[in-house]
Amino acid sequence: MNLYNNFFFVAFPYVAVIMFLIGTIYRYRATKFKYSSIASQFLETRRLYWGSVPFHWGIIFLFFGHLTAFLVPRYVLLWNQQPLRLAILEITAFVAGILTFLGLINLFYRRLSNPRIKKVTNYADIILEILLLTEIFFGLWVAYAYRWGSSWFAVVIAPYLKSIFEFNPQTDAIVMLPLVVQLHIIFAFLILLLIPFTRLVHLLVFPLSYLWRPYQKVIWNWNRKKIRNPKMGWTIHKPQNN
């Protein structure tokens, strides 16, 4: 049991963080043009909207929620001091969890069912989506079965994560947690480890500058309404952008 605990809650987090750091730097230097989400919006748009938008709204809320509870646990506890505020936070987080889960199911279905998307899918995408689905499922399970996670995260998980970053891992409280909470933590580190090797790298190169850069005017110099048979040769212009 000690071996299991030491591996998953001491060694593995460090392996994940180191792999994340080295892998990220290596991939950015070695394959800079693949350092993106490898968007498939040009291939399919309708289902993407109902998958990608709820997924991203949910995951961004959850990511920053977990980050806040880790960085300033005291203030989360202060917020939760009034039961009404605690309920509002928990309900919002649970809604975000469901949005993320449903959005990801939609994206996964799209990836497996749409022939155009299947063409640009690799094993890493499938593995990553299954891992994310499992992780979010565990998260929802924890939130439902062991309620007020926002409060006990601040008391139990935040000190553990802090101890990891202080190079003095304290796992006493973690090893006493229910199995599903432990699995949620282990899967989180596994996903962190996989970030550099999957399309998840895009979260590190979010194009924030798009928010303030001027609009770009795109000019097409052929008839855009004309439907082109992709099997025919180019009669107008061969695309020059790739």
Residues lying near other proteins in the complex (CB under 8 A) are found at 42, 45-46, 49-50, 53-54, 57, 74, 77, 80-83, 86-88, 90-92, 94-95, 98-99, 145-149, 151-152, 154-156, 159, 172-173, 176-179, 224-228
Amino acid present at 45: T
Q: What is the 3-state secondary structure (H, E, C) of 120-143?
A: CCCHHHHHHHHHHHHHHHHHHHHH
Give yes or no for a contact between 94 and 147, defined as CB atoms under 8 angstroms apart: no
- Pick the closer one to other proteins by CB: 161 or 201: 161
Shortest Å, Cβ 198 to other proteins? 26
Shortest Å, Cβ 200 to other proteins? 23
How far apart CA 72 and CA 29 sit, in angstroms, is 34
Shortest Å, Cβ 81 to other proteins? 5
- Pick the closer one to other proteins by CB: 186 or 193: 186
Q: Tokens 């990511």 sit at which residue? A: 63
Nearest to 52 by CA among 69, 40, 34, 61: 40
Shortest Å, Cβ 101 to other proteins? 11
**CA separation, residue 209 to residues 37, 46, 206, 215 (Å):** 17, 26, 9, 12
- Pick the closer one to other proteins by CB: 13 or 97: 97
- Pick the closer one to other proteins by CB: 20 or 138: 138
Shortest Å, Cβ 27 to other proteins? 31
- Pick the closer one to other proteins by CB: 13 or 196: 13
Encoded tokens for 12 = 């593995």
**CA separation, residue 58 to residues 126, 128, 135 (Å):** 20, 17, 14
Kindly state the helix (H) or strand (E) to which residue 200 belongs, with its residue range. Answer: none
